[in-house]
């Protein structure tokens, strides 16, 4: 039997564990509360630990949202739509989402988009042009890029291909 699921934490142990949990990676309140629930902490203790983490700067949703937006854009090449949806899913406020999006300079945003789009277009081996266009659009829409950007790029790529 898994003895880890039977471990009972004192408030001090839970606090230390969550300080560590928040110190090696930015976390949002939702993740911290879920972790404390897994540790079978009662709601009052969860509230006290969350307050402690905020007061001691282990937990900061604005910082989390900024780090999340930068990382997902620069590493996973996500567009703003996907970033916003993922932050909303984590119960991040509109204010913090707007602040996070400011972390991505528009020049970087558009250059990453064009680089990703061209790389993906060139990697699609589909011969049927309608299927190729669908694969191209579906991929970029899943990544959270704006449809107007995708369709403009598709038009450019088709025009350059037909020259």
DSSP notation for the chain: --GGGG----HHHHHHHHHHHHHSS---HHHHHHHHHHTT--HHHHHHHHHHHHHTTS--HHHHHHHHHHHHHHTT---HHHHHHHHHHTT--HHHHHHHHTTS-HHHHHHHHHHHHHHHHHH----SHHHHHHHHHHHHHHTT--HHHHHHHHHHHHHHHT-
Same domain, 156 and 143: yes
Same domain, 16 and 46: yes
Close Cβ partners of 101 (under 8 Å, ≥ 6 residues apart): 69, 80, 83, 84
pTM of this structure: 0.87
Domain that holds residue 17: 10-55
Same domain, 74 and 95: yes
Same domain, 118 and 149: yes
Neighbours of 77 (CB within 10 A): 19
- Which pLDDT tens digit goes with each residue over 27-81? 999 999 999 999 999 999 999 999 999 999 999 999 999 999 999 999 999 999 9
Q: Which two tokens stand for residue 78?
A: 């996500």
Instruction: Determine, yes or no, domain membership for 139.
Output: yes
Instruction: Determine, yes or no, domain membership for 20.
Output: yes
- Which pLDDT tens digit goes with each residue over 110-137? 999 999 999 999 999 999 999 999 999 9
Instruction: Determine, yes or no, domain membership for 70.
Output: yes
Same domain, 115 and 81: no
Instruction: Determine, yes or no, domain membership for 4.
Output: no
Same domain, 96 and 122: no
Check residue 1 and give its pLDDT: 42
Instruction: Determine, yes or no, domain membership for 5.
Output: no
User: Domain count of the chain?
Assistant: 3
Same domain, 148 and 121: yes
Instruction: Determine, yes or no, domain membership for 2.
Output: no
Instruction: Determine, yes or no, domain membership for 26.
Output: yes
Instruction: Determine, yes or no, domain membership for 51.
Output: yes
């Amino acid at each position: 039997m898994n003895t880890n699921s039977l471990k009972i934490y004192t408030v001090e142990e839970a606090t230390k564990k969550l300080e560590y949990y928040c110190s090696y990676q930015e976390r949002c309140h939702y993740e911290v509360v879920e972790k404390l629930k897994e540790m079978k902490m009662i709601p009052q203790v969860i509230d006290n630990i969350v307050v402690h983490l905020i007061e001691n700067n282990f937990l900061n949703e604005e910082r989390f949202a900024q780090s999340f937006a930068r990382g997902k854009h620069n590493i996973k090449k996500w567009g703003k739509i996907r970033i916003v949806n993922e932050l909303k899913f984590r119960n991040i406020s509109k204010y913090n989402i707007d602040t996070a999006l400011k972390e991505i300079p528009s020049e970087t945003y558009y250059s990453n988009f064009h680089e990703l789009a061209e790389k993906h277009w060139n990697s699609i081996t589909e011969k049927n042009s309608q299927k190729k266009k669908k694969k191209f659009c579906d991929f970029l829409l899943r990544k959270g890029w704006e449809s107007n950007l995708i369709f403009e790029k598709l038009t450019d790529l088709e025009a350059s291909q037909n020259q």
